[in-house]
């Protein structure tokens, strides 16, 4: 069912390999093109950081340390993926950090208060997490306010609600233990177990992280929806004008962040059993940092799903590497900031070099 | 009549394979594809547009001219489905319609190339080309983009319009303004547009690039599309236009076929010639005001029969391809 | 998007999903644990005094959602309920804001103020104003060196620093050589004071480890990393019960032989202490601090009594909880008051 007027008049042999070259645009070399990909700068920065800590900190070299770094990176990285997709789509979600805690609290409180199998709590938490995402998205498309503002509001609401609701039901700032309830052990196996590889215990979140990253990359680069994400973030009005369902795309992206928050929340719940209601505050910026280091533009329309994976890995390496290297802990945050800035600068420099014409 | 979901096979916006035939049919029986009769749009108390008559025939270029604020963008928005008219009639293929989304207009074969081009600068050319109408293959849930076919098709279509790009992966923002316009036009043509609306395509371009765009307008016209060419430059309009309408403060001041109006008359109209002519009559009474340079009333009126050899400059250019 | 052909299959799917959810919810109760299994605990419900209603303001430097401070508040609320006192609780970790809150209480013309002197200099002037307004002020938890000088009536509790010192002594007793002090909120006055106290008296090597308290997986990883970095660490000191439990996991992951000891208790920790996963916990009895402060103000109002003779603080701790005596504390911890 193709356009009827076109084929009749198009020039012959469109598949001819020797189609005349214009000379106006020269084919960029493979290395140039590779270097222009959003994640290459992050990869180079990651290699640099790894080599640096390898040299500077002896314990860093062990396999167990790598597993440890990967664990921290994965818990952050699983959230960085949907946050990055949302950023490519042109929006921010500042409530992502506390949404993780909200879903963990929901599952825990629901199961405990109603004395139900924890799996019901898990399902209810998913519904709540998706609802929060849908709410953020709906509010955005309805009001047209900047997402920064809207999600700042929902961040504050969730932060307050986390504490107040927990206090209301448990009388404490943390939830009650659910480790002796039905379904807990099963759920722990699913969300918080370990897999031994070559004598090293690797947490299951690392595997989930990599699988989700692959799925996100495929979604972004190989599906229609991915094209819509780029368009919505690159130029929303243009996208709408050519028939891209911008509203649907944005709400769907916010709901994906919600789903990510649910998953990480479940991991935290079944890993640590009790949930501190004040957790998660401040993490939303870490997700954004991972996405930006990974090459996603803050203004949207450009980025990848592999980038945030590398960004999260860099973050994990830096925060643990500082400890392995036994640097003065009082300077911890300052070191973290410096190394993240350096990583971002390397990324920027590589991208500039690649796209210079 | 039209495929209502965002159709994916073949990526056409018109779900009707006989689009080309219809274009031919319409030409034969002279019915315009798109027609506005006494159309108007009011935003509350403000009448942005009223009493507009416009007919677009396949294989012809209808130029809509007017200065800023004349109502040209409101006109386009009505035809392209972004707004709805509040008075008069909007006919497509002889049937009265009321479009509620751009998607509906696209489905009926009305494609608009906007001033800001409706392209996403950071995305590659081929992704932009198929934006909103991507080709896919495979069953759900692993339905994926058919990238190879899309790239090939984009390349073919662009070459058919005379645009040769070596690297379709480059972000469309790296192309020159004229090239981008051309890609947008090629896109509209490919997706089965029967009517192409161009919103001030040459406004931000230099002389040479404007020439490139005008060439592509002519190429589209020659493929049987009806073109609505919106501009405030009468020279550009006269190069490719078959019919001219001048909008002023929301109403139509002039509506004439090419044979009935010269470039000079057109330019005068654009420059507010009617008002100047009236002013001339008043000022003639006052001493010390030189009114010789102002146009005469006859010069400004759109005559039914203009004997002047308003040399049709674009006659030969328009048919080149 | 065409609306006509979609809704029917979609609506059907929604209805089935809802039905399935309802069925699942109905059949999914838990046989163990949960609220059903929880003992019904009231608070220490005594009777209620018949003295006239009075208003007491308690202003602390707690950060919102901190377990320790919650216990102080609970103690205060229990005393308030018993003494027919209206308790107005407010807090801010920022000392300037805390001083403002005290001023707020003065403006409300409360009958008594209980305040923590985490940064004594910041509170000096506003405490003086309270005294001038004739409002009795007691101190709790922080300010053991300054309460007398500022003219506070009484002082309950002990400084974090003092608690830290006692902690360090205990570590010496147990023969520890190399400890890390895990600060879960860098720059927090109370936490830093505790670690400083430990460092003062502990004879072995003591280093601080900063972790991100709002990100538990990160806490786990960081402690793990530190244990790997220095395999001679034999004690991990944490400053909050949840972090102690996480530290236990880290020690396990890192395959380290280090022991875990902590400040503050909670009911989840009881099992860990019993089993020896956590060597000991220091209980500063925050519940008692809160309780005594409010009760003392009531006593002063109704009978002019005050403890300590205006000279000595009333110490509420530290009490060390370990395998031997945890069983006694367990049931109180279960109520969430220890």
pLDDT score of A88:
95
Whether C207 has its CB under 8 Å from any CB of chain A: the answer is yes
Residue B66 lies in a domain: yes
> What is the rounded distance in angstroms from the CA atom of residue C181 to the CA atom of residue C262?
9
User: Which of the pair, B175 or A106, is modelled with greater confidence?
Assistant: A106
Whether A69 has its CB under 8 Å from any CB of chain C: the answer is yes
C188 shares a domain with C146:
no
Q: Which of the residues B1, B2, B3, B4 would you substitute to probe the C interface, choosing the one with the greatest number of C C-beta atoms within 10 Å? A: B4
Residue C328 lies in a domain: no
Is the pLDDT at C261 greater than 90? The verdict is yes
Residue A9 lies in a domain: no
Is the pLDDT at B312 greater than 60? The verdict is no
Residue A343 lies in a domain: yes
Residue A8 to chain B, least CA–CA distance (Å): 10
Residue A332 and residue C35: Cβ atoms within 8 Å? no
Tell me the residue range of the domain where C223 lies: 160-283
Lowest mean pLDDT among A256-260, B194-198, C18-22, C284-288: C18-22
pLDDT score of A28:
57
C268 shares a domain with C153:
no
Residue A280 lies in a domain: yes
Per-residue pLDDT band for B84 (boundaries 50, 70, 90) equals confident
Per-residue pLDDT band for B289 (boundaries 50, 70, 90) equals low
pLDDT score of B111:
86
Residue B155 to chain C, least CA–CA distance (Å): 29
pLDDT tens, residue by residue, A135-186: 999 999 999 999 999 999 999 999 999 999 998 988 778 888 888 888 899 9
pLDDT score of A339:
74
Of C24, C29, C208, the CB nearest to A329: C208
Is the pLDDT at B157 greater than 90? The verdict is no
Portion 289-318 of A in contact with B at CB < 8 A: 297, 301-302
Nearest to A351 by CA among A309, A292, A305, A299: A292
User: Which of the pair, B14 or A197, is modelled with greater confidence?
Assistant: A197
Which of chain A's residues have a Cβ under 8 Å away from the Cβ of C336? 170-172
Residue C222 and residue A320: Cβ atoms within 8 Å? yes
Whether A116 has its CB under 8 Å from any CB of chain C: the answer is yes
pLDDT tens, residue by residue, A24-47: 444 556 666 666 677 888 888 899
Is the pLDDT at C314 greater than 60? The verdict is yes
Residue A119 lies in a domain: yes
Q: Is the ipTM of this complex over 0.95?
A: no
Sequence-separated (6 or more) residues with CB below 8 Å from residue C39: C334
Whether B260 has its CB under 8 Å from any CB of chain A: the answer is no
pTM score: 0.79
pLDDT score of A35:
64
Mean pLDDT value of segment A291-299: 87
Lowest mean pLDDT among A260-274, B113-127, C30-44: C30-44
Whether C275 has its CB under 8 Å from any CB of chain A: the answer is no
Residue A28 lies in a domain: no
Q: Any idea of the CA torsion for A301, A303, A304, A306, to the nearest 10 degrees? A: -160
Lowest mean pLDDT among B40-49, B201-210, B215-224, C234-243: B201-210
Residue A163 lies in a domain: yes
pLDDT score of C27:
58
Is the pLDDT at A21 greater than 60? The verdict is no
Per-residue pLDDT band for A23 (boundaries 50, 70, 90) equals very low
pLDDT score of A255:
97
Residue C35 and residue A72: Cβ atoms within 8 Å? no
> What is the rounded distance in angstroms from the CA atom of residue C228 to the CA atom of residue C219?
14
> What is the rounded distance in angstroms from the CA atom of residue A224 to the CA atom of residue B130?
10
Tell me the H-state helices in B192-250: 207-222, 234-240
Tell me the residue range of the domain where A155 lies: 39-351
Residue A294 lies in a domain: yes
A201-204 contact pairs (CB < 8 A, 24+): A201/A67, A201/C253, A202/A67, A202/A70, A202/A71, A203/A67, A203/A70, A203/A71, A203/A74
Classify residue C101 as exposed, middle or buried by CB count within 10 Å of its CB (0-12, 13-18, 19+): buried
CATH of the domain at C192: 3.40.50.2300
Lowest mean pLDDT among A123-132, A211-220, B72-81, C328-337: C328-337
Residue B164 and residue A27: Cβ atoms within 8 Å? no
Per-residue pLDDT band for B305 (boundaries 50, 70, 90) equals very low
Residue A72 and residue C218: Cβ atoms within 8 Å? yes
Number of domains in chain C: 2
Portion 127-166 of A in contact with C at CB < 8 A: 163
Is the pLDDT at B167 greater than 60? The verdict is yes
Residue B285 lies in a domain: no
Closest chain B residue by Cα to residue C6:
B5
Determine the 3-state secondary structure of B137 from DSSP: strand
Residue B112 and residue A238: Cβ atoms within 8 Å? no
DSSP 8-state code for residue C184: S
> What is the rounded distance in angstroms from the CA atom of residue C145 to the CA atom of residue C191?
18
Q: What is the per-residue DSSP string for C240-300?
A: SHHHHHHHHHHHHHHT---EEEEES--HHHHHHHHHTSEEEEEE--HHHHHHHHHHHHHHH
> What is the rounded distance in angstroms from the CA atom of residue A225 to the CA atom of residue A232?
10
pLDDT score of C28:
66
> What is the rounded distance in angstroms from the CA atom of residue C64 to the CA atom of residue A278?
8
Which of chain A's residues have a Cβ under 8 Å away from the Cβ of B191? 3
Number of domains in chain B: 1
C121 shares a domain with C86:
yes
Tell me the H-state helices in chain C: 7-26, 34-37, 67-82, 95-107, 120-132, 160-173, 189-201, 216-229, 241-254, 267-275, 286-303, 326-334
Determine the 3-state secondary structure of C86 from DSSP: strand
Nearest to A336 by CA among A319, A321, A348: A319
> What is the rounded distance in angstroms from the CA atom of residue C151 to the CA atom of residue C128?
8
Tell me the residue range of the domain where B106 lies: 19-261+302-319
Q: Which of the residues C1, C4, C9, C10 would you substitute to probe the B interface, choosing the one with the greatest number of B C-beta atoms within 10 Å? A: C1
Give the chains touching C; criterion: ≥3 Cβ pairs < 8 Å: A, B
Mean pLDDT value of segment B47-75: 86
Residue C47 lies in a domain: no
Of A111, A267, A271, the CB nearest to C34: A111
Number of domains in chain A: 1
Is the pLDDT at C6 greater than 50? The verdict is no
CATH of the domain at B311: 3.40.50.300
pLDDT score of C232:
93
Residue C28 lies in a domain: no
CA A77, A78, A83, A85 torsion-angle sign: positive
Lowest mean pLDDT among A18-27, B209-218, B238-247: A18-27
> Taking an 8 Å Cβ-Cβ cutoff, which residues of chain B contact chain C?
4-6, 103
Query: What percentage of residues in chain C have a pLDDT greater than 70?
Result: 88
Lowest mean pLDDT among B21-30, B54-63, C271-280: B21-30
Whether A117 has its CB under 8 Å from any CB of chain C: the answer is yes
Residue A182 and residue C30: Cβ atoms within 8 Å? yes
C170 shares a domain with C71:
no
Give the chains touching B; criterion: ≥3 Cβ pairs < 8 Å: A, C
Q: Which of the residues A170, A184, A188, A276 would you substitute to probe the C interface, choosing the one with the greatest number of C C-beta atoms within 10 Å? A: A276
User: Which of the pair, C131 or B308, is modelled with greater confidence?
Assistant: C131
Is the pLDDT at B321 greater than 50? The verdict is no
Nearest to C69 by CA among C100, C93, C99, C98: C93
User: Which of the pair, A25 or B90, is modelled with greater confidence?
Assistant: B90
Residue B14 lies in a domain: no
> What is the rounded distance in angstroms from the CA atom of residue C101 to the CA atom of residue A13?
82
Mean pLDDT value of segment A301-322: 91
Backbone angles phi, psi at C162, to 5 degrees: -65, -40
Q: Which helix (H) or strand (E) is C137 found in, with range?
A: strand C137-140
pLDDT tens, residue by residue, A60-100: 888 889 999 999 999 999 999 999 999 999 999 999 999 99
Closest chain B residue by Cα to residue A232:
B120
Sequence-separated (6 or more) residues with CB below 8 Å from residue A189: none
pLDDT score of B311:
37
C257 shares a domain with C116:
no
> What is the rounded distance in angstroms from the CA atom of residue C161 to the CA atom of residue B244?
89
Residue C327 lies in a domain: no
Residue B123 and residue A234: Cβ atoms within 8 Å? yes
pLDDT tens, residue by residue, A344-354: 787 778 777 76
Strand C112-115 vs strand C54-60: parallel, antiparallel, or unpaired? parallel
> What is the rounded distance in angstroms from the CA atom of residue C269 to the CA atom of residue C275?
10
Which of chain C's residues have a Cβ under 8 Å away from the Cβ of B1? none
C169 shares a domain with C276:
yes
CA B181, B186, B192, B193 torsion-angle sign: positive
Q: How far is CA B260 from the centre of its chain?
A: 21
pLDDT score of C165:
92
Name the domain boundary from C266, C283, C300: C283
Tell me how many residue pairs between chain B and chain C have CB atoms under 8 A apart: 8
Residue C188 lies in a domain: yes
Mean pLDDT in chain A?
86
Classify residue C50 as exposed, middle or buried by CB count within 10 Å of its CB (0-12, 13-18, 19+): exposed
Residue C35 lies in a domain: no
Query: What percentage of residues in chain B have a pLDDT greater than 70?
Result: 77
C129 shares a domain with C173:
no
C179 shares a domain with C109:
no
CATH of the domain at A296: 1.10.3470
Residue A3 and residue B152: Cβ atoms within 8 Å? no
Portion 83-102 of C in contact with A at CB < 8 A: none
Per-residue pLDDT band for B192 (boundaries 50, 70, 90) equals confident
> What is the rounded distance in angstroms from the CA atom of residue C94 to the CA atom of residue C211?
21
Q: Any idea of the CA torsion for A174, A178, A183, A189, to the nearest 10 degrees? A: 70
Residue C308 lies in a domain: yes
Residue B2 lies in a domain: no
Q: What is the per-residue DSSP string for B69-94?
A: TSSHHHHHHHHHTSS--SEEEEEETT
Residue A13 lies in a domain: no
User: Which of the pair, A82 or B7, is modelled with greater confidence?
Assistant: A82
Whether C9 has its CB under 8 Å from any CB of chain B: the answer is no
Q: Which of the residues B107, B111, B118, B197 would you substitute to probe the A interface, choosing the one with the greatest number of A C-beta atoms within 10 Å? A: B118
């Amino acid at each position: 069912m193709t356009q009827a007027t076109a084929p009749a008049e198009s020039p012959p042999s469109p598949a001819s390999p020797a189609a005349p070259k214009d000379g106006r645009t020269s084919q960029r070399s493979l290395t140039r093109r590779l270097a222009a990909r959003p994640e290459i700068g992050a990869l180079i920065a990651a290699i640099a950081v790894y080599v640096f800590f390898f040299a500077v900190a002896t314990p860093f070299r062990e396999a167990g340390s790598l597993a440890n770094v990967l664990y921290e990176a994965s818990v952050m990285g699983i959230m960085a993926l949907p946050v990055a997709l949302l950023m490519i789509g042109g929006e921010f979600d500042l409530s992502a950090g506390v949404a993780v805690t909200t879903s963990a609290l929901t599952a825990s409180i629901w199961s405990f208060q109603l004395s139900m199998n924890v799996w019901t709590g898990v399902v209810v938490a998913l519904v709540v997490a998706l609802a929060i995402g849908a709410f953020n998205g709906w509010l955005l498309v309805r009001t047209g306010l900047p997402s920064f503002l809207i999600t700042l509001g929902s961040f504050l609401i969730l932060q307050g609600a986390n504490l107040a609701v927990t206090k209301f039901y448990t009388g404490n700032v943390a939830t009650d233990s659910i480790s002796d309830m039905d379904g807990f052990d099963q759920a722990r196996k699913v969300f918080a177990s370990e897999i031994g590889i070559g004598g090293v215990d690797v947490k299951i979140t690392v595997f989930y992280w990599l699988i989700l990253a692959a799925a996100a990359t495929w979604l972004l680069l190989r599906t229609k929806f991915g094209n819509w994400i780029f368009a919505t973030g690159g130029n929303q009005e243009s996208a709408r004008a050519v028939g891209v369902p911008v509203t649907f795309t944005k709400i769907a992206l916010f709901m994906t962040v919600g789903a990510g928050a649910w998953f990480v929340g479940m991991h935290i719940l079944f890993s640590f059993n009790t949930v501190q209601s004040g957790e998660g505050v401040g993490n939303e910026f870490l997700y954004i940092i991972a996405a930006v280091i990974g090459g996603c533009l803050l203004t949207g329309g450009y980025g990848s799903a592999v980038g945030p994976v590398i960004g999260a890995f860099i973050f994990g390496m830096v925060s643990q590497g500082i400890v392995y290297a036994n640097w003065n802990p009082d300077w911890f945050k300052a070191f973290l900031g410096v190394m993240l800035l350096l990583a971002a600068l390397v990324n920027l420099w590589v991208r500039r070099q690649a796209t210079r014409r | 009549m039209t495929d209502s979901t965002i159709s994916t096979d073949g990526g056409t916006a018109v779900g009707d394979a006989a689009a080309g035939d219809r274009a031919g049919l319409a030409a034969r029986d002279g019915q315009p594809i798109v027609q506005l009769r006494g159309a108007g749009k009011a935003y509350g108390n403000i009448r942005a547009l009223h009493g507009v008559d416009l007919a677009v025939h396949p294989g012809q270029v209808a130029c809509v001219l007017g200065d800023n604020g004349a109502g040209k963008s409101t006109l386009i928005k009505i035809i392209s489905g972004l707004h709805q008219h509040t008075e008069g009639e909007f006919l497509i293929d002889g049937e009265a319609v009321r479009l509620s989304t751009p998607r509906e207009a696209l489905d009926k074969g009305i494609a608009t190339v906007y001033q800001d081009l409706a392209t996403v600068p950071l995305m590659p050319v081929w992704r932009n080309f198929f934006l909103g109408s991507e080709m896919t293959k495979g069953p759900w849930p692993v339905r994926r983009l058919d990238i190879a076919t899309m790239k090939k098709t984009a390349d073919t279509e662009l070459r058919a319009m005379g645009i040769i790009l070596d690297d379709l992966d480059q972000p469309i923002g790296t192309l020159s303004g004229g090239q981008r316009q051309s890609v947008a036009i090629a896109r509209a043509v490919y997706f089965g547009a029967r009517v192409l609306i161009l919103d001030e395509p040459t406004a931000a371009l230099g002389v040479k690039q404007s020439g490139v765009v005008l060439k592509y307008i002519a190429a589209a016209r020659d493929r049987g599309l009806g073109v609505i060419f919106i501009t405030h430059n009468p020279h550009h309009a006269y190069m490719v236009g078959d019919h001219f309408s001048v909008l002023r403060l929301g109403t139509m001041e002039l509506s004439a076929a090419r044979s009935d109006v010269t470039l000079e008359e057109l330019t005068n109209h654009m420059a507010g010639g009617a008002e100047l002519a009236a002013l001339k009559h008043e000022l003639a009474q006052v001493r010390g005001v030189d009114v010789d340079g102002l146009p005469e009333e006859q010069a400004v009126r759109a005559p039914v029969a203009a004997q002047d050899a308003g040399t049709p400059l674009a006659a030969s250019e328009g048919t080149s391809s | 998007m065409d609306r006509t052909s979609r809704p029917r299959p979609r609506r059907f799917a929604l209805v089935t999903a809802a039905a399935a959810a309802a069925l699942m919810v109905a059949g999914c109760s838990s046989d163990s644990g949960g609220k059903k299994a929880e003992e019904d605990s009231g608070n220490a419900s005594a009777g209620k005094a018949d003295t006239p209603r009075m208003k007491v303001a308690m202003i602390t430097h707690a950060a919102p959602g901190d377990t320790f401070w919650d216990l102080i508040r609970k103690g205060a609320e229990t005393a308030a309920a018993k003494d027919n006192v209206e308790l107005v609780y407010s807090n801010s970790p920022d000392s300037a804001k805390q001083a403002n809150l005290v001023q707020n209480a003065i403006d409300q013309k409360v009958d008594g103020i209980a305040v923590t002197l985490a940064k004594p200099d910041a509170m000096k002037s506003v405490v003086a104003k309270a005294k001038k307004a004739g409002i009795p002020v007691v101190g709790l938890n922080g300010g053991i060196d300054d309460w007398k000088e500022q003219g506070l009536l009484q002082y309950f509790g002990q400084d974090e620093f003092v608690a830290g010192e006692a902690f360090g002594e205990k570590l010496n007793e147990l023969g520890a050589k190399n400890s890390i002090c895990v600060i879960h909120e860098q720059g927090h006055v109370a936490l830093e004071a505790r670690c400083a106290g430990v460092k003062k008296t502990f004879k072995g090597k003591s280093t601080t480890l900063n972790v991100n308290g709002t990100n538990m997986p990160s806490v786990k990883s960081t402690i793990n990393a530190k244990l790997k970095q220095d395999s001679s660490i034999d004690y991990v000191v944490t400053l909050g019960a949840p972090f102690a439990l996480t530290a236990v996991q880290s020690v396990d992951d890192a395959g380290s032989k280090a022991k875990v000891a902590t400040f503050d208790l909670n009911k989840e920790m009881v099992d860990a202490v019993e089993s020896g996963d956590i060597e000991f916990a220091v209980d500063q009895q925050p519940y008692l601090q809160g309780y005594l402060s409010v009760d003392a103000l009531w006593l002063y109002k109704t009978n002019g009594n005050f403890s300590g003779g205006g000279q000595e603080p009333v110490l509420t701790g530290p009490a060390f909880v370990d395998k031997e005596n945890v069983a006694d504390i367990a049931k109180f911890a279960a109520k969430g008051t220890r």
